[in-house]
Amino acid sequence: MATINSVRAQQKSQTVDPQLLAHLPESITLLELVYAISTITPDEKIVIDTVITMLGEGRVKLRGTFRESPISEFKS
């Protein structure tokens, strides 16, 4: 039986399958990244988790206003 904490831990790490975003350019604006992920899922938490994961793993680099922003600024 799963505990409430283990269910919450699983929910925290939900992200969009990276293969669905393989078409994205390496350098992208934050708005473009959020929009691309939002076309796959309407869940805001998953969108945010996916953005943070992609930036943290270096799958994409931001250009524009947020290009020099540390990832910690996107986390709550």
pLDDT, one tens digit per residue, over 17-38 is 888 888 888 899 999 999 999 9
Q: Indicate whether 63 pLDDT > 90.
A: yes
Q: What is the pTM of this model?
A: 0.75
Whole-number Å distance between alpha carbons of 19 and 22: 5
Question: With bands split at pLDDT 50, 70 and 90, how would you rate the model's confidence at 13?
Answer: low
Residue 45's alpha-carbon distances to 22, 38, 63, 64, 67, in angstroms, are 20, 11, 23, 23, 22
Q: What is the pLDDT of residue 31?
A: 95
